[in-house]
Amino acid sequence: MKYRRIVILTGAGISAESGMGTFRDKGGLWTTHSLEDVATPEGFARDPALVHTFYNLRRAGLKSAAPNRAHFALAEFEQEARSRGSDVMLVTQNVDDLHERAGSLSIIHMHGELTSAACVSCGARARWEQDLGLDSLCPGCGRRGALRPDVVWFGEVPYGIDEIHDRISTCDLFVSIGTSGEVYPAAGFVGLAAGQGAHTVELNLEPSANAGFFSEGLYGPATQVVDRWLNALLHSGG
């Protein structure tokens, strides 16, 4: 395998064909909700019940969503690349659990996860699959009403950012899938990868805001382009 240290970034577009909403496409989550109201600490402080409802609906949506061909193609690629001695790290902006359910193993959820709750009082983080609300009890300290969705809101520091930067600073292949390139620091990762000489690839429905930073792009639905590009890589001795 030509590439030895591979970093793959995913965004909402890879889960679109699984029925999970994207954010900025027509009908996307930020067109039906004000980002300031439901994805900032200030919004949560102002109206926690509204934010809980927003995330409870998305968490409940996980039950009817299933990984699609793109999620499975990534999991199969990770296994094959590893068997050929290459290292693969998957960094996702998504808070759904579809990469896990498709079998991917090395995943960093830089924006957190719907299936996790965090306590603002004791800092505990716990797996959480049902509705979260003001009457929920923290499994760590027992306090009522101290739990919040364990997701990274605007103005908060993404999870795993140091490890992500280390990986991208030394990777030889950076692939970005299904993201608009509008949200930082994720949108800046391609510049970091290209700046240190990695080959950079964008797989997306259409060119993203930072398409110009990529050495290569393949455009179309993720369920078609991801499989095609990964197979070509594996069979080209790439």
Map residues 110-149 to x or -, x wherever contact with ligand BV8 holds by CB under 6 A.
Answer: -x--------------------------------------
Burial 71-89 (b: 16+ CB within 10 A, else e): bbbbbbbbebbeeeebbbb
- Nearest to ligand BV8 of 136, 204 (CB atom): 204
The one catalytic residue in 52, 71, 111, 199 is: 111
What residues contact residue 198 under an 8 Å CB cut-off, 6+ apart?
Answer: 7, 168, 171, 172, 173, 174
Query: Rounded to the nearest 5°, which phi and psi values hold at 178?
Result: 65, 40
Q: Which position among 22, 116, 136, 200 is part of the footprint of ligand BV8 (CB under 6 A)? A: 22
Distance CA 211, CA 65 (A): 29
Q: Which stretch binds ligand BV8 (CB under 6 A): 42-50, 83-91, 100-108, 156-164?
A: 156-164
Q: Which position among 1, 4, 5, 24 is part of the footprint of ligand BV8 (CB under 6 A)? A: 24
Q: Which stretch binds ligand BV8 (CB under 6 A): 82-90, 119-127, 130-138, 154-162?
A: 154-162
Q: How far is the CB of 107 from ligand BV8 (least distance, A)?
A: 14
Does 11 interact with ligand BV8 (rule: CB under 6 A)? yes
Q: How far is the CB of 165 from ligand BV8 (least distance, A)?
A: 8
- Which of the 8 DSSP states describes residue 137? B
Residue nearest to ligand BV8 (CB): 13
Distance CA 156, CA 223 (A): 31
Nearest residue to 150 via CA among 203, 109, 209: 109
Which two tokens mark 194?
Answer: 């290209």
Residue owning tokens 């609300």: 133
Does the annotation mark 111 as catalytic? yes
Does 157 interact with ligand BV8 (rule: CB under 6 A)? yes
Does 180 interact with ligand BV8 (rule: CB under 6 A)? yes
What residues contact residue 190 under an 8 Å CB cut-off, 6+ apart?
Answer: 174, 176, 181, 200, 202, 210, 213, 214
Which residue ranges make up the site for ligand BV8 (CB under 6 A)?
A: 11-13, 16-17, 22-25, 28, 39, 93-95, 111, 151-158, 161, 178-180, 182-185, 204-206, 208, 221-222
